[in-house]
């Protein structure tokens, strides 16, 4: 019943075992996913959108993410907790990346961090890794760069773009990353990068052949109002929650709730 480690994830790739990852931003959901056996929980900077209501991940800060990470870490007993380094918390260089990662680990209780980018962030990955911080890379559609990518669209189409992503992935592996997220790339490229890397790949919109799959939990559970093509909703929480709120409201207005059963004599 010990906690999942980056070593376990390396072994899973050697054994050809696929595994799931979900985002989490609070204690109750982290506990449910942990009990469901999800081995890796990501406190994503997607919190910017699904928790804080921004329309991109750019505005969210380390101060925003640290308490969410702490909540997830307190609740998850077995899952490896990975926290995103938000935009502006690592781009300045290795020292900034280390200071930011230290906050997510010391105050947030995370066991690993994730950052976006390939070649341009390998000095950060090297510094973090040699300081004992496991690093997850993230390439392809990197939402913190939405303003240079020109929108949320498939990346790595065409030979040159595919080669660039493959070499970014290899550079991250060489720099010491323990895994790499591939977001929104053609399935064939997802498969090719997965084949060429020793470390596990985690796909989101990267086809069926990556070593692992990740989704934002609100997308996975049908709570998000609109989702990308790569999302499969496994529940319809938006409808269920709306119905629950409507029933509660109706019963309060009509006086049905609270009844004797829910009152103190």
What is the nearest approach in angstroms of Na ion to the Cβ of residue 63? 17
Query: Which one of residues 216, 220, 221, 223 is an interface residue with ligand KIV (CB under 6 A)?
Result: 216
Binding site for Na ion (CB under 5 A): 44-45, 84
Give the C-alpha separation, 265 to 261, whole Å.
9
Q: What is the DSSP string of 42-55?
A: EE-TTHHHHTT--S
35 annotated as ligand-binding: no
Please, are residues 141 and 149 in contact by the beta-carbon 8 Å criterion?
A: yes
Using CB under 6 A, which of 166, 185, 204, 223 touches ligand KIV? 204
Assess whether 251 carries a catalytic annotation.
no
Count CB-CB contacts under 10 A for residue 209.
17
Shortest gap between Cβ of 172 and ligand KIV (angstroms)? 14
Closest CA to 113 of 84, 72, 88: 84
From the list 43-51, 95-103, 158-166, 224-232, the region that binds ligand KIV by CB under 6 A is 43-51
Task: Count CA within 13 A, CB hemisphere, residue 23.
Answer: 23
Question: H or E segment at 41?
Answer: strand 40-43
DSSP tag of 199 = S
How far is it, in rounded angstroms, from Cα 89 to Cα 93? 9
Q: Which does 204 bind (CB under 5 to 8 A by kind): ligand KIV, Na ion, none?
A: ligand KIV
Of the candidates 183, 192, 251, 260, the residue annotated as catalytic is 183
Beta 179-183 vs 135-140: how paired, if at all?
Answer: parallel
Least Cβ distance, residue 185 to ligand KIV (angstroms): 13
Selected from 22, 34, 60, 84, the binder of ligand KIV by CB under 6 A is 84
Q: Residue 46, annotated ligand binder? A: yes
Catalytic machinery residues: 183
Binding-site ranges for ligand KIV (CB under 6 A): 23, 42, 44-46, 84, 138, 181, 204, 214, 216
* Known binding-site positions for Mg(2+): 45, 84, 116
């Amino acid at each position: 019943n010990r906690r999942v480690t980056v070593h376990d994830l390396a072994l899973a790739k050697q054994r050809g075992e696929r595994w799931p990852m979900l985002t989490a931003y609070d204690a109750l959901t982290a506990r449910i996913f942990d009990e469901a056996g999800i081995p890796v929980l990501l406190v994503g900077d997607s919190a910017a959108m699904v928790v804080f209501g921004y329309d991109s991940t750019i505005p969210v800060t380390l101060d925003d993410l640290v308490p969410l990470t702490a909540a997830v870490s307190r609740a998850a007993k077995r899952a490896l907790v990975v926290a995103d380094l938000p935009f502006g918390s690592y781009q300045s260089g290795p020292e900034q990346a280390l200071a930011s990662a230290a906050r997510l680990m010391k105050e947030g209780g995370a066991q690993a961090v994730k950052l976006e980018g390939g070649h341009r962030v390998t000095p950060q990955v090297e510094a973090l890794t040699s300081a004992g911080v496991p690093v997850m890379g993230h390439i392809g559609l990197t939402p913190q760069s939405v303003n240079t990518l020109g929108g949320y669209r498939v990346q790595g189409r065409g030979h040159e773009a595919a080669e660039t992503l493959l070499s970014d992935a290899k550079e991250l592996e060489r720099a010491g990353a323990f895994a790499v997220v591939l977001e929104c790339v053609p399935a064939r490229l997802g498969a090719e990068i997965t084949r060429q890397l020793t470390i596990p790949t985690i796909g989101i919109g990267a086809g069926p052949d990556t070593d692992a799959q990740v989704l934002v939990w609100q997308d996975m559970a049908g709570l998000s109002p609109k989702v990308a093509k790569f999302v499969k909703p496994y529940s319809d929480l938006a409808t269920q929650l709306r119905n629950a709120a409507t029933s509660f409201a109706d019963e309060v207005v009509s006086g049905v709730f609270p009844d004797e059963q829910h009152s103190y004599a």
